[in-house]
Amino acid sequence: MGMETRHVVWDWNGTLFDDNHAVLAAVNRVCRHYGSPEITIDRWRETFSRPLLQCYEGLLGRSLSDDDWAFIDVIFHEEYHAFVDACGLAEGVEALRERTSHTQSLLSMYHHDNLVPLITRHGIHDLFTRVDGLRAVGYGSKAEHLVRHLDAQGLDPAAVVLVGDVVDDAEAAEHAGTRVVLVTTGVTDRRRLEATGAPVADSIAGVLRYLDS
């Protein structure tokens, strides 16, 4: 992997948190509202991209106004939050407690005020030197979010590995100057993850093996 890994930045949704069924339920509520057929998780993995507005326009086959997008944001999160308590940590997360060769933090595009209580409830907040969720209005890209996260901790990007489940994570890593490992457990299919040129793992255990290699 080149320079020794001194710090790992973990993504949350779809990476450390197994919430695919909550995400799919929320997406399908949006589909129903706009009269589109419900989709499977495989279809969402093929469709998901950022910016999210264009992603939903492609999914729904229509242009979306600012009012549409504001409404989608509301109903998506209403449905997601109705299912989130039934979601659990991804298999293998407990192994993060055994990591002594590097420090760890968490960076998510999930709203910060929802993220911190959720991580605390699942008993893993103490694993991380810093937890950052989305504080700004809107979604955008993870790239600047990652730069701020690293700067706040005084980290050398060359010694950092970002772990995430979407193409946006690979793009953010390239922008920030970190390395990246992608996992197939979230909302992007393997074909599109591999097309980034980044290493791809099928589990947390696979990520940890890669970090140790």
- Digit-by-digit pLDDT tens for the chain (213 residues) are 456 899 999 999 999 999 999 999 999 999 999 999 999 999 999 999 888 999 999 999 999 999 999 999 999 999 999 999 999 999 999 999 999 999 999 999 999 999 999 999 999 999 999 999 998 755 567 999 999 999 999 999 999 999 999 999 999 999 999 999 999 999 999 999 999 999 999 999 999 999 998
What is the value of pTM for the model shown?
Answer: 0.93
pLDDT at position 138 is 55
pLDDT at 22 (0 to 100): 97
Q: Where, residue-wise, is CATH 3.40.50.1000 in the chain?
A: 7-18+88-212
Distance between CA 91 and CA 18 in Å, rounded? 8
Residues of the chain with CATH 1.10.150: 20-86
Task: Please give the C-alpha separations between residue 67 and each of 80, 85, 89, in angstroms, as whole numbers.
Answer: 20, 29, 34
What kind of fold does domain 7-18+88-212 have according to CATH?
A: Rossmann fold (3.40.50)
Residue 171 tokens, joined:
């793009």
For β-strands 7-10 and 103-111, DSSP reports them as parallel
In this predicted structure, what is the pLDDT of residue 145? Answer: 94
8 Å CB contact between 159 and 5:
yes
What is the fold, at CATH topology level, of the domain defined by 20-86? DNA polymerase; domain 1 (1.10.150)
- pLDDT at residue number 1: 46
